[in-house]
Amino acid sequence: MVSEQTPLLPPGPSSAAGSAPGSDPAGLPLNIGHRGYKAVFPENSMAAFEGALAAGAHALETDLHLSRDGVVVLSHDPSLKRCFGVDTKIADCDWSYLSTLQSVREPRQPMPRLLDLLTWLARPEADPSVWVLLDIKTDDDAELLLPAIARTIASVPLPGGVKGWKERVVAGCWNENYINHARLHLPDHPLVLISFSLLYAHRLLSNADHPDVHFNLSQSSLVGPLGAAFRRAVRAQGRRLYVWTVNEPEWMEWAVRKEVDGVITDEVARLKGVLGGFEGGEGDGKGYMTRRRRGIGAWPRRVKLYANAFLWQAIGFLLTVLMWRRFSERGKQKGGAYAVALSGTPR
C-alpha cells in the first residue's frame, strides 16, 4: 500500500480542467490496478482490490453495472457468463440473487457492490490517498445508473480529516452523453473519457463544453505521431492522461518516457518493479531497463509490439467510423430537468 504521506495531487499545471489524480512526487505514472489485481485474483473482487494495494498500486480501476433492483455492482461484463458461469444478464437479476454467486476463477469470490468497495476504503485504518477510477458502462441507462452511483457514494461517510470522495472517486465515461450525466449527478468529481478512439478523444479535447474532461485511452491509440500530437495537446491544456491496459514491460517503460499520469495494468507488481527501475528505488525493474539499454533481443520484439499497436489503431479507427452515430446516441438525454440543469453548466 502506498504511503499515507504520498499526496494525491502533486503540484502541477493549473487549468480549467479541475483536479484529477496525477503522477507521483517523483514524476512517474501512478500504478492503477485494472479491475484490482486481475493477473492474480478474480477480477473486480475484494480480494483483487486488496491484492492490488498490497502489491503496490496507488489506485484502483473497476467497472459498474446496475442490478434489476437498482444496486450498483462491480463487474466488467453485463452478463454473468464469463466470470460467474451463469448465462444471464446482471440487469435481469436482483442483488439478493447476485450476492449468492461465486466467481468461476479460484480463489472463488463473491461479486461486490460499489458500496462494499467504498466502505472498505473508508475504514479508519485505510490509506486515505488511494483513489478509484470508475468505468461506467454504457449497457445501463445513464439516467438510472448515474443517480444510483451518486446515492451510493453519498451513503458512505469518511473519517474526519481525510480527503472527501470528490477527490477520491473519478467518473470514467465512454461518450459525451454519459459525461454530461456524470457532470450533473456527480458534480465536482473528476471526469474522464475512456476510449480506444483518438478521433473521438480529439472531439472532446477541442470542445469548449468539456474543459473539465481528462482522458483514459487505449495505450495502442497513443503510439506514433498522431498519438504524440494528442499527448502534447493534452499536456498543453493541463489535463490528465491515463493509459490502459498495459501489461508488457516495454510499454510500461514507454508510458514513463511519454510522461503519462497513470498506467492501468493487470500486472501491478510488474509495473511497480519497472517504476522502481526508473526512480532508483527499491524496485529492481526485473532487469527490463538493463536489457533495453543493451538491446539484448529487443528489436524483433519491439517491431512486433509496434506492429500490433498500429493494427489496433486501424481497427479502432474503423470501429469509430462504423459505430460513431450509434455510439453517440448511447445515453442521450431525454430533455426536461436534465436539459435545464445542463443549461447552467459553465462554458
pLDDT in tens, 17-61: 457 898 787 889 999 999 999 999 999 999 999 999 999 999 999
- Report the length, in residues, of the chain: 347
- Class level of CATH domain 30-343: alpha beta
| Cβ–Cβ < 8 Å for 263, 242 | yes
pLDDT band at 69 (very low <50, low <70, confident <90, very high): very high
Digit-coded pLDDT (tens) for 172-206: 999 999 999 999 999 999 999 999 999 999 999 99
pLDDT band at 292 (very low <50, low <70, confident <90, very high): low
Residue 209 has pLDDT above 70, yes or no: yes
Element (H, E) at 310: helix 298-329
For 123-282, list the strands marked E by DSSP.
131-136, 169-173, 191-195, 213-218, 241-244, 262-265
Computed over every residue of the chain, the mean pLDDT equals 88
- Classify residue 313 by burial, with Cβ atoms within 10 Å: 0-12, 13-18, 19+: buried
Q: Which three cell numbers stand for residue 52?
A: 492490488
Tell me what pLDDT residue 280 has. Answer: 57
Q: Which three cell numbers stand for residue 159?
A: 473519517
| Cβ–Cβ < 8 Å for 278, 28 | yes
Cis? peptide before 249, omega within 30° of 0: no
Tell me what pLDDT residue 18 has. Answer: 53
pLDDT, greater one: 329 or 334: 329
pLDDT, greater one: 3 or 239: 239
Instruction: Report the Cα 248 to chain-centroid distance in Å.
Output: 18
Strand 213-218 versus strand 241-244 pairing type: parallel
Tell me what pLDDT residue 326 has. Answer: 82
- Output the pTM of the full model: 0.88
> 3-class DSSP state for residue 14?
coil
Domain ranges across the chain = 30-343
Q: For the chain, first and last CA: distance in Å?
A: 39
Tell me what pLDDT residue 15 has. Answer: 41
pLDDT, greater one: 314 or 1: 314
What φ, ψ does residue 192 adopt, rounded to 5°?
A: -135, 135
Q: What one-character DSSP code corresponds to residue 231?
A: H
Give strand pairing partners of 195.
217
Give strand pairing partners of 31.
263
